[in-house]
Amino acid sequence: MSLIDLSATELSALIASGEVRPSEVMEAHLARVAAVNPAINAIVSAPDPDRLMAEARAADDAPRKGWLHGLPVAVKDLLPVRGMRTTFGSPVFADFVPEHDALIVARMRAAGAIITGKTNTPEWGHGSHTFNRVHGPTRNPYDLARTPGGSSGGAAAALAARLVPVADGSDMMGSLRNPAAFCNVYGFRPSWGLVPADAEGDSFMATLATEGPMARTVEDIARLLGTIAGENPRVPFGRPAEPYAERLGADLRGMRIGWLGDWGGAYGCEEGILGLCAAGLGVLEDLGARVEPLAPPFAAERLWQSWTTLRGFLNANAKGELWRDPARRALTKPETLWEIEQGLALSTAEVHAASVTRSAWYAAAADLFARFDALVMPAAQVWPFPVEWRWPQAIGGRAMDTYHRWMEVVVPVSLIGLPSLAVPCGFGASGLPMGMQIIGPSGADARILAIGAQYHRATDWPGRRPPAILG
């Protein structure tokens, strides 16, 4: 097996033992990037390869910083990286070069990571399809005519194509989970507050989005989570990190899993998706879990109304300058402008009502978790779609009334900040990947990762590499 096929954990062990040098790992991954990235466009704004090799050679002889020592990591282009072009997928910031690292970038560097570029993202992360006017579209390694999803689509595609061993992502409305499903990798949305944000802008009310890890193994997910998690004293609502990688040996026998499916038909899914999820549930049952189908525990339309209200409210206030400045507005994608305009039209009563609904769903979910150790839902409602589309217009004949309604299945988790691991569950009739979410109560990150680790050992879907066109 070549170095690019090894997990981050395996590469880390080889470097620690001296069997492999960071420069060898970097050389292998840079060769892979040169051969494959032009076809998929997953990594953008990459530094000169000679500079990266020089950093890796320096790491050969330097004291070991941490488990990421000498490993290549590309950072999602929504996070600032010191001295590296960071565009947020927006023409407004096409030439922006930050002077400082984002907090989790600094934490990865402190653990020894070498930053090899940025992973592509939709403009401002809006939309679960990775394309923008700065870098163009990213393509799915399993079918170059299809999207890898988004907004962490560049990260998911880079992992699937073996351009990096591990990656960061972020998730507001499925931005980790959708691309993980579309690209046959793992993506973990942690409990809200576990991975802290930087102390910029509002840090009290903006509680819908979070950073999180992506990888081809759950062990790598656990290790990267341990690196980027942990309180930031400069922002509120923090949570301490745990030794997640040391707690992956759970016994699933007797665990109770609730299957929410398509939420009683509210979250329509394209043909074949629920069947693959059922097969994934069968794996959990083979491992000893008890699976029980559940009726919808809350009105889907109430969740959607709460979600779109709070999301619009946050976008209107965080990105209002893009709308107020005519020059910037002309450079901003229509989906982002729509989000801002939705938020500007809201009343304080509407925002409060949305928060009341959110609170009621949190209480109802807590009652569910008193009966179940985990819940399972599909990670996406559609198969990876043509890369030329902006977004799917319909599911099974039902028209989508917004640019993101086709990803409504992620809202129950996002609205109340639950931990959710997107796991691959195989390939459909057309050979495209799909995944499902394993969801836990707030704070149960270690439990959900442990369930996922057992599932990975039984399946290892990411071991099925993309087609021969990518080597």
Residues with a known catalytic role = 76, 151, 175
Question: Letter for the amino acid at 146?
Answer: R
Token digits of residue 142: 């399993």
Question: Letter for the amino acid at 288?
Answer: G
Token digits of residue 259: 């299957």
The answer to whether 438 touches 448, Cβ cutoff 8 Å, is: yes
Interacting residues of 366 by C-beta distance below 8 A, sequence separation 6+: 441
Which DSSP helix (H) or strand (E) runs through 208? none
For residue 105, the 8-state DSSP code is: H
Dihedral (C-alpha) 91, 97, 99, 102: value to the nearest 10 degrees? 60
The answer to whether 211 touches 227, Cβ cutoff 8 Å, is: no
Distance separating alpha carbons of residues 313 and 318, to the nearest angstrom: 9
Three-state DSSP state, 355:
helix
Cβ neighbours of 176 (radius 10 Å): 34
Interacting residues of 13 by C-beta distance below 8 A, sequence separation 6+: none
Phi/psi at 257 (nearest 5 deg)?
Answer: -115, 125
Cβ neighbours of 144 (radius 10 Å): 14
